[in-house]
Structure 1
Amino acid sequence: MRERPAHGVGLLSAGIIAITLSIVVYVLVRTLVNQPIGLGMALTAFLLVVALVFLGRTLFRVGEMLSLLYTVDRNGISIRTMFSRQTIPHSAILRIEESAVTTGDVPLHGMSWPGYMRGSATVEPYGNLSVWATEPLERQLVLVGEEISFGISPSNHQRFVEACEARRNLGPLTEPALELAPAGIATWPVWRDRSVWLGALVGAILDAGLATLTLARYRALPTIIPLHWNALGQPDRLAAKSGVFAIPAIGAGVLLLSLAVGMAVHSRERMGARLMVWGSIGVQVALWAAAWQILIP
C-alpha cells in the first residue's frame, strides 16, 4: 500500500518563499550590475550568494516534499523522498497513534514552513521524534518506537493504520533493519569521491583568490589596460579596465562546467571525471598568470 500526504498548503507556502527569494536575488543582481567597484559591491555579491543558497535549499526541500511517500508492506513501513529512504520494520513500532503533542511550538532541527516539516525534535511524550510530514505536530500520526518515533501525515490516517495492522498480522517475509539510507541521485558515487570534491574546492579557492585580488587592485589600474602582448613584449590588445573581471568569471565558468560534466560521467568514467575537475585547476593557474601581468605590472 502506498499513501501520499496532502501538498496544497506546503506547496503554496513554498511558492511564496521561492518567489520572495527570487525577487531578492533579482534585486541584488540589478544592484550588483549598477554598483561601483568597491567594498559595497563585495558585500552585495556576498548577500547574493547567501540568497542563492537559501533559494537552492528551499527548492531542495520542495523536491523532498513533493516526492514524500509512505509505503506499507509485510516487512514494515518505508518513508521515501527523492533523496532518502527511512525503513522501519514492524517490530520496531510499539504502536501507532494520533499525536499527543498539544502545541506546534517545538524546536525542530531541520527545515519547516507552513505545510511541511522535515527534521528531528525532542518532544514529550515521545522523546526523539523524526518528522516527515506536511501537517503540524498536533495533527500528525506517530509511529511510536522505543528509541525513536516517527511523525508522518498520510492523507487518510484510518486507512493507513488499518493497512499497517493487516500487513503486520501477515508476518514479515524478511526482517529489514531500522535505517536511514540515501535514495535517488543521493546514491550517486560521485558524492563520496573525495578526489572530485577536493579538486573542486582547490579550484574554488583559486578562483575566489583571483577575484579578491582583482577587486583589491582595481582602483590602482589605469583606465585602459593591456590584455595581450606580441612577441616583442609590446601590448597589442587594449580594453577598459572593467574587462579584468572577465578573468575570474572565466575561471568560475570553467570550474562549474568541469564539475557538471564530471558528475555526469562519473558513474561510467570515474578517472575521467577526476581529470576533468582537476584539469580545471590548470586553467585557474593560467588565468592567475594572465591576471598577474595585468594587476601587478
Structure 2
Amino acid sequence: MEPPELLAQPVGSSPRLQEPSAWDRLRCDYALQALLILTFLVNVGLIGFLILRYDALPDPLPLHFDASGLPDRIDAKTSIIALPAIGFVVFGLNTVLGILSYRRERAATMLLVVGALFVQILMWLATINAAGGLLGT
C-alpha cells in the first residue's frame, strides 16, 4: 500500500525534485575548493616572500630583461609589488567568472581556476628573477 501523500496527488503529476543551488554544489566540489585555496596560498606566499626579501632588494631594481639578458626596464623596488597585485586581480576575476559559469559548465570553472594558478606561478618566477633568485645574490 502506498503512503497517503502519494495517493493524494493527481494521476500524472510527480513530485518536483529541486535542483541544488550553485552555492550548494560549490560547497560539495572539494577539487575546486582545493584549487582555489592552493591558488590563494600561492599568492599569499609570494607576498610573504616579498615582505621577507624587500629590504635586501636593490634600489633601483631591474624589472624586465631583453632577449640578451640585459635589463631594459629599471624602476624603484616598490614596483615589484605590482607582481602579486596582478596575480591577485587575475585570481579574483577568474574566481568570479568561474562561479558565474559553474552551474552550466564546471569544466570552464576548473580551467579558469587552473589558469589563475598558472598566473600565480608565473608571478613567482618573475619575482624570483627580478629579486635575483630565491636566496639573493
TM (norm. structure 1) is 0.37
Equivalent position of 1:230 in the other structure: 66
Distance (whole Å) between structure 2 residues aligned to residue 192 and residue 262 of structure 1: 15
Say whether residues 1:278 and 2:111 are aligned partners.
Answer: no
Over residues 153-185 of structure 1, what are the superposed CA-to-partner deviations in whole Å (9 max), with x where a residue is unaligned?
A: xxxxxxxxxxxxxxxxxxx958xxxxxxxx866
| Residue 253 (1) aligns with residue 70 (2) | no
Show the counterpart of 2:10: none
Superposed displacement of residue 243, structure 1: 0.8
Cα distance in structure 2, aligned partners of 1:192 and 1:247: 32
Secondary structure in 1 matching 2:129: helix
| Residue pair 2:22, 2:102 contacting (<8 A) in 1 also | no
Structure with the higher strand share, 1 or 2: 1
Number of residue-to-residue matches in the alignment: 117
**Structure 2, gaps ≥5 residues long:** 7-19
Query: Which residue, 198, 204, 208 being the options, matches 2:44?
Result: 208
Cα separation, 1, equivalents of 2:22 and 2:105 = 17
- Compute the displacement of 1:191 (Å): 2.3
TM-score by length of 2: 0.78
Verify the 8 A CA contact 2:91 2:113 in the aligned structure 1.
yes
Residue 190 (structure 1) aligns with: 26
Deviations 1:187-221 (A, max 9, x none): 3x122211211111111111111100101111111
CA contact (8 A) 2:64 2:130 kept: no
Structure 1 stretches (4+) deviating beyond 3 angstroms?
183-187
Matched residue, 1:125: none
1:193–1:185 distance in 2 versus 1, CA, 3 Å: closer
Look up the match of 1:112.
none
Partner of 2:119: helix, strand, or coil?
helix
Give the whole-Å Cα distance in 1 for the aligned partners of 2:126 and 2:75: 14
Residue by residue over 1:238-269, the C-alpha shift from the partner in whole angstroms, topping out at 9 and shown as x without a partner, is 11101111111111111111111111001101
**Aligned residue number for residue 43 of structure 1:** none
Residue type matched to 1:282 in 2?
F
- Please report how far the alpha carbon of residue 294 of structure 1 lies from its aligned counterpart in structure 2 after TM superposition: 1.5
- Hey, what's the Cα distance between the residues in 1 that align with 2:111 and 2:120? 14
Q: For the residues of structure 1 that align with 2:28 and 2:63, how far apart are their CA atoms?
A: 41
Distance in 2, matches of 1:289 and 1:186, equals 34
Please show how residues 47-126 of structure 1 align to structure 2 within 5 Å: none
Larger relative contact order (Cα-Cα within 8 Å, sequence gap ≥ 6) = 2
Q: Conserved in 1, the CA contact under 8 Å of 2:22 and 2:103? A: no
- How far apart, CA to CA, are the structure 2 residues paired with 1:250 and 1:260? 15
RMSD over aligned CA atoms reads 1.8
Residues 1:218 and 2:54 aligned together: yes
